Every structure is written in structure tokens, then in C-alpha cells.
Structure 1
């Protein structure tokens, strides 16, 4: 690798992030400590490339260290109804081997992602914990988007076998619809970010346009058709530099990007008709061959894609998936010259071409007679509002009515075919496709039918929220978070819905019964997923995949109809303790599993704890730490006050101090030996290895 270029990146990292990156866990030699700083700073720089932000914010995104589970930084953001998560693994090294990314790194990175999807947040270190609340918010959305970013300080491309493994692993997550994507950042990307426009010369492109025409101007412009193969090469050769003037992030894993790519892979012959095309601003445009109406070749200097960046990146990704099919596509391209233009003309073009409101498929459905009839029926028969205007506008609040979108999701969740719940879980915009829309919104559907199903979905969601607030954690929390539509489907099957459209039906009684059924349904769903796909299977897979959700729904409905007690949630429900549980702390003391003086780290386990305690913990870092003592009682000496407590007694006190809440907790799940696990995890390993069992845990 070029030592000069590496030196430029090194200096840029030092200038940006010195004093901002948390290095409190690094106690090695100065050279090792600095290398660790550079690796973390590289992760922060990768965050800035993916999501422009200040240096301090990028530094806070870094959580590299013990219990990072193969991930070094996380950036989370909400864009309207869609959330985006960026996960970075960074490799700093002045030599290629030090910046390697092999099969082991792929497995660790995907394992860390699995933990996040399963909401096992307490397995991650304290620097990760500050991001959990926003992560939960994104994972609660119907269609979260996740980008994995190997950030490698090297010029060599990713090994073909490693890339194949990474893509294969990602494809298993994208079993139903694309949720996870990846982007490799390398020395070229980091150098461009550090040096800005001075990192490379202005981009020069060759555009071969078919059936081209001229707009004489001023400003001068050329328009015509290009092959998608040529556009894909533009991106391969220039990467992010191609979008220097663009105000949008072209590489988002957005619904638009995915649909563009799928159109090209499935219907390349129609891509020209279905695409809005690409617009480039250029410092100069010079024609070297061809006449208007024919094929022309144009040399572009200072070129930048200002509209259609998602189209370009989607073309590139489609070309990497199936080059032969993608090459059949063609796309409309506009080239605008900035020669002899006012200084701000380029900015005006960029802003104007990126701020036009898109028309969503849902907007067309609002013109359907079924929807206008429902709107009138809601008003005349129920005295409620049914909103059918453009997507993104807020619907009525509370009991005043609902929106067309909420109605569609409720109808999908309660439909006899559970597969529609999976389709809605993946992305409710799918419900506007005619093959689903016509099944949900039948010609004679009425306001009572729709409103009562909306009410059912709301009460089930509210009850699941109560359960999660009451102490659900890890897999059980994932069940409640991802499984609202499946659980609504199951509950609906247990209600008397024969007269759902009858005005005189006592629907309030059915809603009350639904509230009673929600927790048993949650337990049955957990049992069903575990039985069908194993206790370590991914919950989200069962909720988004049509075949899986159908099999689980069938099993659960049969099980509930047969009667009997609902299966237990085991330790996943932390507010309830079922059966006898060995005292983890005394087990560890007797086995001398942890050395005296080991510093333990506190991690919130439930959503209420994270919400109530995170700011309080950040206000004094000593609150997160306690020293272990191998004594009979009160094994933890809390750094915040120097006093000794039992694990559970200390957590209970901390909750009282932070929020005034007071309830029994299993404290050994909250206190961790960094890099090894929670006290409960370590005690379980001791028991498995020795059979040691010393009595009941004191939860005082």
C-alpha cells in the first residue's frame, strides 16, 4: 500500500478524533494504544462516510472492545417511517495483512447482527448501550434497513471467496425481502473523505448516448439513452466520487433502491420505461462522434450525478448480481453543462431535481371507489374519520378514526391467511399491490368490519407493550416487538367474529377477551417458533417469511384450541421467577470462578431499565461498575458509593435511585464480566461443568 496515502489518512484521523474516542479500556503500550485508537477512529470515519455527522457524534458511535461481538461502531437514524442501522467493522493497519477481512470476520459480524435482531442488547458492552433505545425504535418499524460496512484500510478488493460468503450469509437474512445490505469501504474512500475534493482529480467520464438530442441553451444540455452496463462501469470506476454534488445518500438500502434493482433484474427490457433516469452536471461536455438522432460519444469533465444516484447504485448492484441480464437494460440520461452558467445554477438544478414529491402506490389506491365509500361509511355510520390522503400524512388520533394504512395492516393481520401478516410485517407498502389489496379491501367491505379490526390490532399492541414494560427481555422481547401482527392473527381466531359487521354486536366484550388472550398467545407463539425452527432460530424470520409464519400460526391456533396451559417464557420474563433457581453468586464464590478485584459492568436488560437508567448511568460512569469479592454475602462493592451489595439488591437500589421504581429483579443477569458473560451465564457454565447447586438466590 502507498505509505503516503496511509499517512494522509492517519493524520486526518488524529486531527478529527484525538480526545474524542473513548480509550479508557486500553492500558497497553503507547504504540499498541495508538493503533487501537486509529482502528476506532477509522470506524468513526466510516460512520461519517455513511451518515454525515460531526466528529464527536461519530466518535460516540464507536463501541469497539470487549463484548463488541464483531462490530466496532453503530449509527442509527429514522427517516420518516423507515429506520436505518449502519454497523461497522474497522481494520486499521499499515500492512495489508493487518487490514484483512476474512471468513472469521464475516462470521463474527453476522453473529453480532443476529444478537441485535434478537434484541440481546445486554450482551454488548456499555458503550453500545447508549444506542439501544434508538435501535429498538428502528427495529419496531415494519421494514428496518441495515447496512454492514467492512471498513478496511487497504487498496485491494475483498477476496472473492470472502465476498461470496458474506453475500450468502446476507441472502439468508433477506429470505423474504431485502433488509440487509453491505458496502466495503477502502483506502480510496477514506482518503477522499479526509482530503475532500483535493483527494482526486475531477471525475472524467465517457457517455455513449443512443438517439441523442441537444438543448442548445444556455445552459447547454444533451439527452439520450445509455446501456445500464456502461452506467455500472461508471460507478465501478468512481464509486462515491460520482455523487459529489448530490444532496442524497445514494447507497441507502431504501425501498426505492431495492425496487429499481429488482426491476432491472426481473424486467430489464422495461427498465427505460419504469426509471426516471439520471441527471449529471458537468464542467464541460465535448462531443467526439455522432450526430443528433444517432449515436453520440461525449467526454465529460467534472461530472457528478445530481439526480438518479439511487438508480446508478442500484444498476451497479444489479450488474454485480447478474451481469448478463442487467446488460439488457437501458436508461435515459441527461447531461447539463455548467459552462457560461451563473455560479449558483448547478446548486439550483441539484436542489430542484431532488425535492419533487414522489407518488406512492398507496396514493393511487386512495382514488379507488372502495376507499371513498369506506370514508363516507366511517363518517355517516360511526361518526369517525377515515383518512385516505397521501402517504406520510398523519391519521386521526385515538378513537377519532384511522388511516387507510392502519386499516390495511389490521385487515392483513386478521385475514384467515396468516401469510398476509408476514407481508405486512416486511413492509406494509406491499399491501398496495393489487394481488393483496383486492383480497383485503373487498368490494362490499364496511366501516364496522374495518374499524373493529383496527381496534383489535390496537388493543393487542397495547397489551404487548404492557408486557414488554413489565420485564420481557431478549427473545421474549423480540417476540413481542416483531410478533404483534401474528399474535393479533392468533387472537382473532379465538374470538367470536361471526357478526363483526353487525351494529348490535358487543365488540367491547370481544376486545376485553382479546386483552386476556394476548399474553397466552405470546407464550404459544414462542413455543411454536421454538418447536418448528428451534430455540435459537431468528424470531424475525418467522414473522417476515410467509411459509414460516403460516406453519407457526397453524401450530399455535391448534394448540390454543386444544386448551391447556400456555407454555412458559422461562427466564425471558424477568419480572416472574418460575421454579427453583440456584444462587448464581454463591455458586461462583464456591467455585472461585471470578478473581477477587475483577471489575464488573452493569447493563440494563429490559426496555424500561434502558429508558429509565441510561441517562442516569451516563451522568456518573462509576454507577456502571462494581468490584467482585469472593465472600459469602454482598459480593459486589459498588464504585458509586463504596458500599457492598448482593447483585440483585444493588440493581434494585439502582432502579430506585434512577427512576423511583422498586421491584424484584434477577441482578445476576445485569452484572457482567466483560468478555466472558453475565454472572448468571458464568454460574450456568459452572453448574454444567461441575453439577454444583448451592441453593436459592437472595433477591433482596
Structure 2
């Protein structure tokens, strides 16, 4: 049976990726060798269409397989879902067995080198994707997914240990590195729903339903969390092919959705905006007649165009916590495109996704302390921008931005966890303007003069380290890119508190003569300390890890 399965997968890969996979670097190989390269590379691309929801062309363009790939056969950065995907693949003709453990160990080392920005050791295919990788690593909300794609049954014990060692080495209390085992069973099962153009058609049960007949047919009502979970398990990200944004995975918004499901399921219908789904056609089935209590509908050409985060969050619980989903109801709106004019579906998609979104940071504008700070800074000829507008403002000597002031104050706070938060999960600073960390940073005890001094020092350190990063490579570059908040924190703690008093007269002299020497000292010390104590850890995670940053503070302060 394995051979039949392999052949069907090969047929699919050939049909969908023939002519899309670049084989120029192996064009001098034999025909048989070129075929092996094609299937291995096509399998990498196929795994991304299923696991990451990439389209065929983007998946094919992600291939990096070749000499000096360090085990990384594909790199795909999905900006919408904030996910960086790294793939190693092996096409096993027999359909049994597993990947060589040596290959997986090579892959693990390659992942570490890549995340440390050590591109000099990689081929041109990977170097050409360095901008994508660095952009992903610079965003603390981006998750990294490592994928083993192979036409074998399962990983060996040694293979699993190698992957677990990599995950445990890099993940703290919050997972940042995720693993996907894309084996032959998963690859074959995915052929059913795949990435082709086959429309999704399902029978949907809606309770307390209503309908609109004119000008275009639409049905609305409640769907159980269980039914949505089943829909997700069956189709996954394919449901979002028409959406401008796919499921974003772990995020503050989705964490909030999950918390309501788990803690207050009865309130979910009130706290959630629901889901909008387009369909090519919708037909009500005879079951139930005109009774609005429950209705069965046959929907052809399903596409979720709004509510991806709601559906994805529900789907993430489908396997692990299905009983929790049975407790929630979700408002859903189905819109039929059957009699609609051309382009109407696209207009619905755009309109339902471009209404002004209120972020937690926007609630800062309701805090009276922000208005006070703005007024006090204005008296110092500084404009403080703490409300979101369409005005484009750059931070400079006469313009301070809420985010940079918040990051500076977080680094100034005595507890190093706040400066780590800046790099790891900065959104938590504004998570709730009525409690810490926000109220620790913004309160009546902080004066405009203090904010000016703290922000200027934070800016100086950040700019200096950014300049150094631009000239550096590999791990050194990463330390300079991600270490600014920690270095600023150490400098703040080492400085005399007298400097921050409003009556202190010699700040400019300190800023011009002393600060450059102190900054140079601790930047150099940070580099040496990290390399001495965390030489086997990826820099981006060392400097976003609360435990490790506490340890670094202790070492740097000695």
C-alpha cells in the first residue's frame, strides 16, 4: 500500500509543481538524479501549501535546497500570519523508514545558524532570503516553524530526540519554535483537500437563524464551536484563501479569544464579532421547515473572509479541548454570491476587513497621565504623540512617540523583566492601562524632565547598537540588534539617581562625555558575556528570555 501511496503523491507533485521548481543547479546531473531532486524539492513546497497555507507559486519559490543549504531545503515567511517556516525534506521512494539522523542534526545546526544571522555559511538561495529572515526575527511576535517533510511513516527515536533537543534548547515558558511532522500519512490525507481550486462544500447547521432575500441572499445565526472545530480540522487554512489575512497563530488578540472560550464560554457570543463567510450558492434543506430554531444549509464554495482569528483560535482547541468548544456559540453570516454582480465578493472582503481596528495601545489616550505628559513636554518644546492618527511623525529632538517613551521607561524600571518585555512581548506594556506594567511606567511620579533624559539615553544606546549591527555579522550582529533594551537597562541601573532629578544641571555634559564611554563598556561586555555563557543558544531567544536576561543582568552588573 505504501508504494501506491507514494505514487499518488508523486502524481500530485508532478501535476502541481512541474515547471515551478528550479532545477538549474542540478541540470548537469543524470535524468534520474534530477527527478529525485524534483520530488524532494516539490515535497518541501507541498508541505508549505498544507502546513503554512502558501500558494503553489510562493511555495515553489521558497526552495533553498542545494549545496551549502545546511539542511534547510525551504524558507517561507508569511507576513500575514507572522510565521517563518523552515523545511527539511526527503522523498523516500519505498514509503517506509525515516530520515537519517545525521541529516536532522545538520538541519538543527542550520536552524541555529540561520536565526543567528550567520548567512555567510549558506548558499546564495538562502542569502537571497536573508531580508525576509531578518525581518521575521526582528518582530517579537513572529513564530518559527520547523518542518520535516518526508514520505516515510514516522520519525525514529533518535530523530525525535534531536528535534526535542532543539525545541527545549530554544523555547522558554512561551513557545517560539514549533515543530511539524509532515510524514507520508499527513501528505496523503492532505491530497483530499489539498491546495487546488476544488471548492469547499459542506452542510452547515445554524441555530436561531434568519435570512435576507434582497438584494442578495444571506443567512445568519449561531453555529456551535464544535461544528466550527470540525470544519477547521477538515480544511484548515484553506478556508481563508479569499481572506486578506490568514490565521495569525499566537497573538494577544487570539490569546484573548482563547481566554473567553476557556473562562467565560457563555459570554463568547457577546464578546466576539463573529465570522463572515462567502458562498457561491446556499440552499436550505427541507429539514426543520420554516422553524427558526435550527436549520440545515448546503453551502458550495465556502470562503471565510472575516473572522479568521476567531475560527483559527477555535480550531486550535479542536483536538486538545473539544469539550470546551461544545460550550460556545458563534455568530456567523453566510452571503451568497449567486445573484451578485462581479466584484461584489471582493468588496465584501475588503469592507469587512478595513473598518478601523481599536488596539489596546489606543486606550492609552484615555489615561489622564498621558495628557499631563503631553502638556509638560510641550513646555519643553517637545511634541508628544500618544494618539494614533494618519499623521506621519518621526522621532527626533522635538518629537517623542508613545512607543519609544514606553520602551525607554520599561528599560529604566529596576526590574529587568520590563526591558526584556520590550523585546519579547512589547504589547503587554499597554495590555491594561489600569494596572502594571503600564501604571508602573506612566504615573504622577514621572516628570517631563525625567522622560526627556530617559528617552534620550535609550535613543542613544539604540542608535549606537543599530549602527554597530549594520557593520557586524552573524551572532555579533544579532547581539547588537536585540540587546539595546538590556544594555540601556544596565546603564540606567548603574547611573546615579541624582542625574535624573529635575534640579540636576549637568546632564548635557554627562550625555556628551560620560554616556558614550559607559555605553561602549556595556555593549562590549554584553557581547563577551553572551558568547561566554550562551554560545550554544540562538541570540534572538537569549535576549527575549526572562530567565536568561535576569542572569545576564547579574553577570553584567558584577
TM over 0.5: yes
Partner of 1:246, secondary structure, is coil
Out of 25, 32, 35, which is 1:23 matched to? 25
Structure 1 pair 271–405 and aligned structure 2 pair: CA distance change class (3 A) = same
Structure 1 pair 440–103 and aligned structure 2 pair: CA distance change class (3 A) = farther
Residues 638-677 of structure 1 correspond to what in structure 2 (within 5 A)?
none
**8 Å Cα contact 1:228-1:331 kept in structure 2:** yes
**8 Å Cα contact 1:465-1:480 kept in structure 2:** yes
**8 Å Cα contact 1:491-1:517 kept in structure 2:** yes
Structure 1 pair 274–343 and aligned structure 2 pair: CA distance change class (3 A) = same
Q: Structure 1 residue 529: deviation in Å?
A: 4.4
Residues 339-350 of structure 1 correspond to what in structure 2 (within 5 A)?
339-350=338-349
Partner of 1:296, secondary structure, is strand
- List per-residue Cα deviations over 1:76-134 (Å, max 9, x = no partner): 4667xx96533233344555338x56877765544432222223333323331222244
Aligned to 1:335: 334
Residues 54-453 of structure 1 correspond to what in structure 2 (within 5 A)?
55=57, 61-76=62-77, 84-93=83-92, 95-97=94-96, 108-152=106-150, 170=167, 173-181=170-178, 184=182, 186-187=187-188, 196-197=196-197, 200=198, 202-250=199-247, 256-257=253-254, 259-261=256-258, 263-265=260-262, 267-282=264-279, 283-290=281-288, 294-380=293-379, 382-390=380-388, 394-434=392-432, 435-453=436-454
- List per-residue Cα deviations over 1:263-302 (Å, max 9, x = no partner): 5456545443333211112211314544655233333233
Structure 1 pair 136–159 and aligned structure 2 pair: CA distance change class (3 A) = same
**Structure 1: which 5+ runs fail to align?**
560-700
Q: Structure 1 residue 453: deviation in Å?
A: 1.3
Structure 1 pair 522–330 and aligned structure 2 pair: CA distance change class (3 A) = farther
Partner of 1:448, secondary structure, is helix
Q: Which has the larger radius of gyration?
A: 1
The answer as to 2:480 corresponding to 1:480 is yes
**Structure 2: which 5+ runs fail to align?**
none
- List per-residue Cα deviations over 1:191-235 (Å, max 9, x = no partner): 8777x32xx3x3222333333333344423332222222211101
Which has the higher mean CA deviation after the structures are superposed, 461-470 or 431-440? 461-470
- List per-residue Cα deviations over 1:296-319 (Å, max 9, x = no partner): 333323322121123222221233
- List per-residue Cα deviations over 1:129-153 (Å, max 9, x = no partner): 2222442343233433333344456
Matches of 1:391 and 1:67, distance apart in 2? 47
Q: Structure 1 residue 549: deviation in Å?
A: 1.7
Q: TM-score, normalised by structure 2?
A: 0.84
The answer as to 2:37 corresponding to 1:33 is no
- If asked which structure has higher relative contact order (CA below 8 Å, sep 6+), I would say 2
Structure 1 pair 274–502 and aligned structure 2 pair: CA distance change class (3 A) = same
Matches of 1:167 and 1:218, distance apart in 2? 56
Q: TM-score, normalised by structure 1?
A: 0.69
Matches of 1:245 and 1:467, distance apart in 2? 43
Q: Structure 1 residue 417: deviation in Å?
A: 0.7
**8 Å Cα contact 1:229-1:326 kept in structure 2:** yes
- List per-residue Cα deviations over 1:143-177 (Å, max 9, x = no partner): 333333444568x8999998999689657644254
Matches of 2:506 and 2:254, distance apart in 1? 46
- List per-residue Cα deviations over 1:566-611 (Å, max 9, x = no partner): xxxxxxxxxxxxxxxxxxxxxxxxxxxxxxxxxxxxxxxxxxxxxx
Aligned to 1:468: 469
**8 Å Cα contact 1:204-1:302 kept in structure 2:** yes
Name the count of aligned residue pairs.
543
